[in-house]
Amino acid sequence: MRALITRPREDAEPLAEALEARGIQPMIEPLFTIVPKPDAGVALDGVQAMLLTSANGARALAAATGRRDLQVLAVGDATAETARRLGFTRVESAGGDVDDLARLARERLDPARGALLHAAGSVVAGDLSGVLAEAGFRLRRVVLYETRKVARLSAGAVEALEAGALDAILFFSPRTASAFVSLADEAGVTAACQRVTAFCLSPAVAEAAEAIGWRQVRVAPRPDSAALLELIDVMLGEGGGRGEE
């Protein structure tokens, strides 16, 4: 079995290792490149906590400031683990999506104790600022990096799709799924995707991916990498990616 991972390389590599441990051959195909903003400053005066909605945000924040003592709330376990590896000492995971992060902030933090800093990219999913504003918080969104869509699918990905050599493609955001849909159309491999199962992190991701007629679309029960891997384990238990319908 062979699976395409559409995440940026730094996030894709741990997943590739997890797939290899399951006997699945991974192929890393980042659909966006991460471009840091070298002149982005982070002012932490009056900030009680920092919010992270991606591992890329954690890496960009670590590059932008030497502070590691402030409380960090991360959207999910992978983002939290990235922050810990980068030296942040007070990290807690919301274990889900942006709504879960907002809930955790409301539970753990007090609007009277200071502002919140959101280390973000140029494109943000959800309305974290609006939800927290309703709870009385002041949120400073600092754009520390931008994501740029690649110009085309790699020759290797196109060849694998045309040859029917891919069994699965993993999608982690609606934006990435939409990017794949458009890039596959430009490469003329949309029809080839009918032999591939799309594994999606959430219903919103699946909705973006469904513009293509996949063999199957499977949605993780929770919006995290572990749940997506569990979903793949279920498929393997059913007989792999090309079993009987």
- Which regions of the chain does DSSP assign to beta strands (E)? 2-5, 25-28, 32-36, 47-52, 71-74, 91-93, 115-121, 139-149, 168-171, 197-200, 216-219
Is 119 within 8 Å of 142 (Cβ atoms)?
yes
CA distances from 65 to 39, 50, 56 (A): 12, 12, 14
Give the pLDDT score at 225.
87
Spatial distance between the Cα atoms of 202 and 79, rounded to a whole number of angstroms: 17
Following DSSP, what letter does each residue of 11-60 receive, concatenated? HHHHHHHHHHHTT-EEEE--SEEEEE-TT-----TTEEEEEESSHHHHHH
pTM (predicted TM-score): 0.82
Give me the chain's average pLDDT, please. 92
Give the pLDDT score at 92.
97
Give the pLDDT score at 211.
93
Spell out the per-residue pLDDT of the chain, length 245, in tens. 899 999 988 889 999 999 999 999 999 999 999 888 877 778 999 999 999 999 999 999 999 999 999 999 999 888 999 999 999 999 999 988 889 999 999 999 999 999 999 999 887 776 898 899 999 999 999 999 998 999 999 999 999 999 999 999 999 999 999 999 999 999 999 999 999 999 999 999 999 999 999 999 999 998 888 899 999 998 888 765 443 22
Give the pLDDT score at 240.
56
Give the pLDDT score at 74.
96
Give the pLDDT score at 244.
26
Whats the size of the chain, residue-wise?
Answer: 245
Give the pLDDT score at 245.
24
* Model confidence pLDDT, tens digit, residues 195-221: 999 999 999 999 999 999 999 999 999
Domains of the chain: 2-31+151-237 (3.40.50.10090), 34-148 (3.40.50.10090)
Q: Is the dihedral of CA 88, 89, 95, 97 positive or negative?
A: negative
Give the pLDDT score at 242.
43
